[in-house]
Amino acid sequence: MQASDAKKLAASPYLLVEDWVSIGVRLAGQVGIVIAKTFYYLLRLQIDWQESIRQAYFIGVKSFLIVSLTALFTGLAMSLQIAIQLVQFGGESAIGGVVSLALIRQIGPITAAIIVAGRVGSSIAAELTTMNVSEQIDALKVMRIDPIKFLVVPRFVGAMMMMPVLSIYAMFIGIFAGMVIALVYADVSFGVFLDSAKAMVIDQDFFVHFLKAFINAAIVIFYSCAIGLNTRGGAADVGNAVTRSVVWSMTVMFIVNYIVTDLTYEGPR
Amino acid sequence: MDRPNGITVANPLTLLDKYLGIVLQLVGQATIMFLQTMRYIFRGELSLSEAFRQANMIGLGSLYVVGVTGLFTGFAMSLQISKELAAFGADTAVGGVVALALIREIGPITAGVMVAGRVGSAMAAELSSMVVSEQIDALKIMRVDPVQFLVVPRFLAALVMMPALSIYSMFLGLGGAIFIAQAKANIPPETFLDSVKQTVVGTDFITHIIKSLVFATIIIFFSCSIGLSARGGAEDVGHATTRAVVWTMTIIFIVNYIITALSPLHAS
Amino acid sequence: MTSQPIPPSSLPSFSKASEPMIKVEGLRKSFNGREVLKGISFEVFPGEMLAIIGPSGCGKSTLLKLITGLLEPDAGKITLNSEQIGLVFQGSALLNSLTVRENLALALRERKLPKREQDKAIMEDLTLVGLADYIDSFPTQLSGGQQKRTSFARAIVNDPQIILYDEPTTGLDPVMSTVIEDYMIELEKQLHAAGIVVTHQFSTWTRTAHRAILLNQGVVVWEGKPHEALNSTNPYIIQFAKATREGPMLAGKV
């Protein structure tokens, strides 16, 4: 696949761009169908709750450790950069607010989403593609079971249940990392840090946080399911499906993240 | 009966033990592979034409994902920072703050994560499906070392392409940031660029390049060793690919902080 | 393999007096501009087993997917006289996240049986394939042969009027092939369903089918009774049944 890309680029860059656009449009169509059918079942409340809870459990267990680690280290790195800037201006007392705001509104949701795309999205794409390759999806269709209802709906519901939990958890770990950095590098006590955070963070910020968490979870689930359900072939194709799902869901999340930031920005503090 | 992929409640200590074992094994494998690769490179036993082909694939494969994410990261960063600072009358500081964040922190990590998702996962998929279809066994029977044949050219290619992709992503991010600063906070590009020039120093670029080289090394050795140690069938190729994405990303986030903490930091 | 005499057919009889259960007329299908099926027609009666045979890539798996509705034909018509279809996949295609019991229950769900009757149907079904002890196992805990038998059980749990087999013995050892073929014959006796078996395994089509059609490059090149195959004058079936290089199939291609 990639080797032919190189040939196309040598022939004409337009060919390659045309390829990417057509792949993107086709994928968007497949994602659209998955979304439409999922909401059709959701609105009719045709939801397998037991399976949804099982999926929520998997999503939580699979992501728990890695979300902890990345949230911790993102919090450390971010706070370090912010603390150094603010200390320069004598703004130590504002560290808590700025760090918390950045974590709640921007860095927290996108970091959690990247991790969920890498952990959950990729394993869903791998699982569904494997089911497709081993004809399990065909077996469902022959028994007149819609794979969307049977496989996608519980994963979507599970992700919607788990995402806020993971997101809040990541936020707390990140803020804790910020408190440690503020104490070590800027001599700001936990109390001062938290006072500053309380003064600057408002309810609206949490709304943005959860909005982004839900949207990102939906993007990951729908893209990875659409790619998984539409990939056939053999072992190599399972791997390619994982790559595709990670790349597409992350790219779309970055774009949507900006749009949500723009739409929810309500002026400086 | 035990549900193979069902809900089981494990003793947290057993779980920790299991994870620790996996981590140690993986880090061990990646380190050994790194040492083997370095030995081939120092002896000059490498195929430059294959490295060139790999560089072509890595660059081309990541071009649009790294570009799009870089651009939109620049948009989002600039939107938040320029409006906040403009409100305090600090228009002249916007360029510096945005550029510093993009060059030192957000730029390299975004590019690193995207390349991990695009290139690392593709390599794990490719190598593990070579294992599953017995191509690696075929190499070994012909006395070709898979590390020399497959890993060395990928590593050399990544060392060249990763800084290039990272810088490309950073420039697109800066471009996006300048555009948004003008569109949303009325900060002219000249003011933005003046601030960038006053703030950013040479060591910031060095930090940027070091991060991208370290990330490239992490991506190649973790995804290649995960790929080559896969066994089984189609399902296992999927698992290997997922594992490669998860591990490379997690380690990139951790190492990113370590480099940040060690690098010379200055305020804008 | 080819030197062995074709065993005399001991298959249950059927009558052509009734309506055909499966009727396929002028079926055509292309992929990316390449025509895989070029106008295929045949009928299968209740109680009859039809073998569709041919070299790899002749279009036989596509034909099965069209009959099950997994693919849509470009032209032609497929008439099925029953909604109850059982399909045995080439791999076992069992859902790995469900137990054997749950896999079978999934196939039964439209009948909306009370729990006890459902369990009884599943148990009877599993007893038939000798897997009653594995009812609460997961597919990954079973051997390849056991998975295959479970997928058999799933295909017949609904008492289908139409049963389709996609390469049921491909990749199995000779002993396991015989076991599977014996199940197929046993099922013909018990279900009296219309069956189609897609295969290129000599023992399978000669032992289990009443009639066979040979496909080559998307067209039917021979049709007849399996035990007449070796005595035929048709060069295609002679080449296929004797597995020789010389003949009209793949000429100059290998």
Chain B hits for A244, Cβ within 8 Å:
none
Percent of chain C with pLDDT over 70: 94
Confidence category of residue C254, pLDDT binned at 50, 70, 90: very low
Chain C hits for B5, Cβ within 8 Å:
96-97
Lowest mean pLDDT among A26-30, A158-162, C90-94: C90-94
pLDDT in tens, A75-134: 999 898 888 888 877 778 888 988 898 888 888 888 888 988 999 999 999 999 999 998
Tell me the H-state helices in chain C: 60-68, 100-108, 115-128, 144-156, 174-191, 202-208, 235-242
CA distance A233 to chain C (A): 13
Instruction: Tell whether the model's pLDDT for residue A265 goes beyond 80.
Output: no
pLDDT in tens, A196-254: 999 888 888 899 999 999 999 999 999 999 999 999 888 889 999 999 999 999 999 99
Confidence category of residue A10, pLDDT binned at 50, 70, 90: low
Chain A: list its partners (3+ Cβ pairs within 8 Å).
B, C
**Which residue carries 């002896």 as its tokens?**
B43
Percent of chain C with pLDDT over 90: 31
Distance separating alpha carbons of residues B156 and A133, to the nearest angstrom = 34
pLDDT score for B30: 94
Instruction: Tell whether the model's pLDDT for residue A12 goes beyond 70.
Output: no
Distance separating alpha carbons of residues C163 and C160, to the nearest angstrom = 6
The chain A residue lying nearest B61, using CA atoms, is A2
CA distance B234 to chain C (A): 13
Distance separating alpha carbons of residues A119 and A68, to the nearest angstrom = 13
- Give which of C135, C138, C141 to mutate to test B binding, by max B Cβ within 10 Å: C138
- Is residue A8 in a domain? no
- Is residue A131 in a domain? yes
Enter the DSSP assignment of C224: E
Instruction: Tell whether the model's pLDDT for residue C7 goes beyond 70.
Output: no
Chain C hits for A141, Cβ within 8 Å:
69-70
Chain A hits for C87, Cβ within 8 Å:
139, 142
State both tokens at A265.
């920005």
- Is residue A118 in a domain? yes
Domain ranges of chain B: 49-262
Instruction: Tell whether the model's pLDDT for residue A4 goes beyond 60.
Output: no
- Averaged pLDDT for residues A162-180: 91
Instruction: Tell whether the model's pLDDT for residue C131 goes beyond 60.
Output: yes
- Is residue A119 in a domain? yes
Instruction: Tell whether the model's pLDDT for residue A150 goes beyond 50.
Output: yes
- Give which of A131, A138, A141, A142 to mutate to test C binding, by max C Cβ within 10 Å: A142
Distance separating alpha carbons of residues B146 and B127, to the nearest angstrom = 10
pLDDT score for B10: 62
Question: Of A22, A178, A162, which Cα lies nearest the Cα of A96?
Answer: A178
Lowest mean pLDDT among B67-81, C4-18, C56-70: C4-18
Distance separating alpha carbons of residues B228 and B126, to the nearest angstrom = 9
Residue A255's domain spans which residues?
A: 48-263
Strand intervals (E) in B106-201? none
- Give which of C97, C103, C111, C156 to mutate to test A binding, by max A Cβ within 10 Å: C97
Confidence category of residue A73, pLDDT binned at 50, 70, 90: very high
**Overall domain count for chain A:** 1
pTM, to two decimals:
0.85
pLDDT in tens, B114-142: 999 999 999 999 999 999 888 888 888 77
Q: State whether A70 and B132 contact (CB < 8 Å).
A: no
Instruction: Tell whether the model's pLDDT for residue A1 goes beyond 60.
Output: no
Distance separating alpha carbons of residues C204 and C184, to the nearest angstrom = 9
- Averaged pLDDT for residues C60-67: 88
Chain A hits for C107, Cβ within 8 Å:
143
Nearest to C93 among A136, A144, A145 (CB): A136
Instruction: Supply the DSSP string of C36-94, one letter for each residue.
Output: EEEEEEEEE-TT-EEEEE-STTSSHHHHHHHHHTSS--SEEEEEES-S-EEEE-SS---
ipTM of the predicted structure? 0.86
Domains, chain C:
8-17+47-66+85-253 (3.40.50.300)
Q: State whether B4 and C99 contact (CB < 8 Å).
A: no
Low-confidence ranges of chain B (pLDDT < 50): 1-6
pLDDT score for C209: 93
